[in-house]
Amino acid sequence: MAVPESIRRRVEVLRKEIDYHNYRYYVLDSPVIPDVEYDRLMEELKRLEAQYPELITPDSPTQRVGAPPAKEFRQVRHAIPMLSLDNVFDEAGFRDWDRRVREGLGQEEVEYAGEPKFDGLAVSVLYRDGLLVQAATRGDGYVGEEITNNVRTIKSVPLRLMGEGWPRVLEARGEVYMPKSGFERLNRELERRGEKTFANPRNAAAGSLRQLDPNITAQRPLDIAFYGFGLVEGGRLPERHSEIMDRFREWGLKSARERIVVRGVEQAVAYYRRMLERRDQLDYEMDGCVFKVNRIDEQERLGYTARAPRWAIAYKFPAEEAITRVLDVVWQVGRTGALTPVAKLEPVHVGGVTVSSATLHNIDEIRRKDVRIGDWVWVRRAGEVIPEVVRVIVERRPADARVVELPKRCPVCGSEVIKPEGEAIARCTGGLYCPAQLKGRILHFASRRAMDIDGLGEKLVDQLVDRGLVKDVADIYYLTKDQLLGLERMGEKSAQNLLEAIERSKRTTLARFLYALGIREVGEATAATLARHFGSLNRIMSASEDELMAVPDVGPVVAAQIRAFFRQPHNLEVIDKLKKAGVHWEEGEPQQGPKPLEGETFVLTGALDSMTREEAKERLEALGAKVSSSVSRKTSYVVVGHDPGSKYDKAKALGVPTLDEAAFLDLLAQAEQGRPLD
């Protein structure tokens, strides 16, 4: 059956549209249609080609995947050798190269093209009459491996050149790489499937590009940056390297956005320093900058050595990875009690600094990477990021290498260490006592929703702890005015105000006190629920995990954290010390049956005369009500004080009942006396 002319025209239109949008997205990084519209165009083209297979051409956007797996890679001889570049590793070496270039050209200053040196795999992509016909690896510079079908799967590589004016034969050379974001996604997916992960983006790119099955390559997030050319026949290229790269972009051949033209060595060094600073902000790995004499005729005058061009140099960044040995593993305790393993290393130079320690993140990561004391490991440092152990060189593992174990006791205070099932982080349970957690615990203890000690801020807490005046949260209640007056920026009035705030905080509620203790997983709502359910601190402290799990919203993880906290003698000593200092609250009987306002949801808006909003919330929650911050159709009542906000307007619009202060106080009285609500 003949293909209707209208279908032929539609297929051509679709291909041109898709090629244009690929160019906007992958080369210019400036899409003009949403992904859903692009997908619609591609699906239509696939449907038409499936219906009329005779319309399928090698350069159709649908043909990036589908070639059968190769048994082996065929060898390809490069018409013009793909030579490597000479390297320099410091400014003195770079300036020496510039001097040789200037002397070779007889010039005082040379125009250079500068570009990032992508850390990937060099490839050659050959176009005949604008159509991609062959792609190959660099290999030894003279002979590479044919990877045409794999390169066709990379969406930033055009199957047909765009625009006009390209030579009949054009060999474009570039670096295939894997963006950092794509590398992280790929490793997460491989880990999820239980497969081996890649050590770094370069290995991932090389491994993906050298797959015998192009369908696997197609699933990998590869990209390319073209940086030069080889064979050119049947046409001419511009006279400057920078202009050639501009022309490449017009033809759909992507090049680095960070390219630049500089005049002289000072501008080149300044560009190198800027790129070194930006290194960790960019979404690709780069291991230096490449500088090329910009004029092609000057490149030809300078010529080549046996292995590299004289007109180009790779000015390398300080190495970000190095090999060293793990001497020991120590455990640091953070402000929240989290235990972080740190590898103590044989000192090694990485990323411009000497590194003697690196993070191991957590015990699960140690086990996943199988890091042992005595191992030889790869260490990575990126910018200001804390160095980390990337992988172990198992082949070099000594016979006496020791397995790393999670400590059972906190290395700082000796309290029990627990690691709930399913969580990566192990924590010290000596929350009220552990010196490593002290400053964070004090700030939480004194916060407005906990003990509400006004004036006890971060800078003051730093001084109190650093001078040894407060060794646990209970010491706050034993501070004297003389001690406070000895602190920086603490006058008579400030000291008196703080002492009065501390005194006021002694009268609290069981819910607030529980929350102030900072028990892991016990937030405000859980603390209030526990207080209502048990009525007293002693009952909570002596409750078993099963009894705790009988409380609404308390599951096995929360119950385990509560039991672990109250098992620590140090925590019990601090609680006893707080009580002796005068911290107190009203206790009641365990909750019997449902609370009067259980199932009701209240919203508070505006100011009340008889109590603060926080006090109103506590009284409502004590009666079993839920207090929400937003009004919905499920809201039972909105309590309206002076100068109410938009919540009052929303309540009226939704028809939610409202209570003024008098009606609210009457409702509280009825509920607290056990009388039925009106």
123-181, pLDDT tens digit by residue? 999 999 999 999 999 888 888 899 999 999 999 999 999 999 999 999 999 999 999 99
pLDDT, averaged across the chain: 88
What architecture (CATH level 2) is domain 435-580?
Orthogonal Bundle (1.10)
**Confidence at residue 247, expressed as pLDDT on a 0 to 100 scale:** 96
Structure tokens at 412: 């700082």
Provide the residue type at 519 as one letter: I
Q: What whole-number percentage of the chain has pLDDT above 70? A: 94
117 counts as catalytic: yes
**Confidence at residue 562, expressed as pLDDT on a 0 to 100 scale:** 93
Output Rg (C-alpha) for the chain, integer angstroms. 35
What is the separation of C-alpha 618 from the centre of its chain, rounded to a whole number of angstroms? 38
**Confidence at residue 367, expressed as pLDDT on a 0 to 100 scale:** 92
- Other beta carbons within 10 angstroms of residue 68's beta carbon come to 10
**Confidence at residue 402, expressed as pLDDT on a 0 to 100 scale:** 95
**Confidence at residue 382, expressed as pLDDT on a 0 to 100 scale:** 62
| Separation of alpha carbons 476 and 463, rounded Å | 13
Helices (H), 288-346: 296-302
- Other beta carbons within 10 angstroms of residue 167's beta carbon come to 19
Topology of domain 601-672, CATH: Rossmann fold (3.40.50)
**Confidence at residue 204, expressed as pLDDT on a 0 to 100 scale:** 86
**Confidence at residue 521, expressed as pLDDT on a 0 to 100 scale:** 84
Which pLDDT tens digit goes with each residue over 572-597? 999 999 999 999 999 887 766 677 88
- Other beta carbons within 10 angstroms of residue 112's beta carbon come to 28
**Confidence at residue 551, expressed as pLDDT on a 0 to 100 scale:** 84
Provide the residue type at 325 as one letter: R
Catalytic annotation, pick one of 16, 117, 471, 617: 117
What is the separation of C-alpha 140 from the centre of its chain, rounded to a whole number of angstroms? 38
| Separation of alpha carbons 591 and 531, rounded Å | 9
**Confidence at residue 27, expressed as pLDDT on a 0 to 100 scale:** 64
Helix axes 613-622, 661-672, angle to 10 degrees: 30
Band of the pLDDT at 498, cuts 50, 70, 90?
A: very high
Least confident of 4-8, 294-298, 472-476, 549-553: 549-553
| Separation of alpha carbons 209 and 178, rounded Å | 10
The sign one gets for the Cα dihedral 608, 614, 618, 621 is: positive
Structure tokens at 519: 């028990």
Beta pairing partners, 604:
639
pLDDT at 422 over 80: no
What CA–CA distances, in Å, run from 296 to 84, 113, 239, 257, 315? 18, 11, 6, 21, 20
Q: Which is more confidently placed, 277 or 311?
A: 311
Least confident of 63-77, 221-235, 454-468: 63-77
The CATH class of the 321-403 domain is mainly beta
Domain boundaries, the chain: 5-64, 87-316, 321-403, 435-580, 601-672
End-to-end Cα distance, the chain: 82
Instruction: Find all residues with CB under 8 Å of 327, minimum gap 6, and list them.
Output: 344, 345, 346, 373
Query: What average pLDDT does range 545-556 have in this prediction?
Result: 85
Which pLDDT tens digit goes with each residue over 329-357? 999 998 778 999 999 999 988 766 788 99
Which pLDDT tens digit goes with each residue over 77-135? 999 999 888 888 889 999 999 999 999 999 999 999 999 999 889 999 999 999 999 99
Indicate the CATH number for domain 87-316. 3.30.470.30
Which pLDDT tens digit goes with each residue over 61-73? 887 655 555 567 8
Exposed (0-12), middle (13-18) or buried (19+): which is 271, by Cβ within 10 Å? buried
Q: What whole-number percentage of the chain has pLDDT above 90? A: 52
Query: What average pLDDT does range 416-439 have in this prediction?
Result: 85
Least confident of 154-168, 391-405, 661-675: 661-675
The answer to whether domain 5-64 has CATH 1.10.287.610 is yes
Q: Is pTM, for the whole model, over 0.75? A: no
Band of the pLDDT at 673, cuts 50, 70, 90?
A: low
